[in-house]
Amino acid sequence: MIAVIDYGVGNLFSVEKALIAAGGEVSVTSDAETIKSADKLVLPGVGAFGDCMKNLENTGLTNIIKEEIQNKKPLLGICVGLQLLFEKSEESPGVKGLGIFKGSIKKIDAKCAKLPHIGWNSLNITRVKGDIDLFNGLKENSYVYFVHSYHANTSENIITATTDYGEKVTAAIARENVAATQFHPEKSGDVGLKILENFVNS
């Protein structure tokens, strides 16, 4: 069973529906015991980093999520769910993230492009860096759907895909049992469905 962590943010219904279409048995939950008993976890997120982190802390689930990651349970972060895995964000100074990965979330240097970065953009896929290969079977330059103004900046060798939007933008990361996408696979058509199938079957 895949537990989609409900902490009051994000379009959980669309994530749940897409995971079911990808072959997963899914429970949207904020219950600690359900999360502990799940085979895999999904951490979604929409909105501001600080608001998402505050909501997550208010559920009392932050330590449980960290423990489950340490116990090698597979976890997929989506959009702000990816950002929360880092130490901090420029969007919300003084707010600490989960700190699973070293680095911070930076505003995109979009130059002449508009922010937020909304719409379809192509992926530059690099090699697998963890146990979960989200991009297995996908062609280089596959298109996915983005809605964001910030992205991960890290010195760790964890970036598995980038996209171009004024600068090279982090699109996905992975290490061991944790993978995450800055884009929304649940809104990315057949490519997104394949990515979720790869997570379900990992």
Please name the residues in contact with 170: beta carbons below 8 A apart, sequence gap of 6 or more. 151, 152, 153, 154, 159, 162, 182
Residue 112: CB atoms within 10 Å:
5
Whole-number Å distance between alpha carbons of 24 and 201? 9
pLDDT at 43: 97
Domain ranges of the chain: 2-200
Rg (C-alpha) for the chain, rounded Å, is 15
Contact 24, 95 (CB under 8 A): no
pLDDT at 130: 87
At residue 111, the pLDDT reads 85
pLDDT along the chain (202 residues), means of 10: 92 94 98 97 95 95 97 98 98 97 96 92 90 95 97 96 96 98 98 98 94
Task: Report domain 2-200's class.
Answer: alpha beta
Structure tokens given for 191: 């490519």
Provide the β-strand partners of residue 105: 89, 152
pLDDT for position 112: 78
Residues with catalytic annotation? 79, 184, 186
In the Cβ-directed half-sphere of 185, how many Cα atoms lie within 13 Å?
A: 33
Q: Given this model, what pLDDT does residue 3 score? A: 98
State how far the Cα of 22 lies from the Cα of 152, in Å rounded to an integer.
27
pLDDT attached to residue 60:
94
Counting Cβ atoms within 10 Å, is residue 28 exposed (0-12), middle (13-18) or buried (19+)? middle
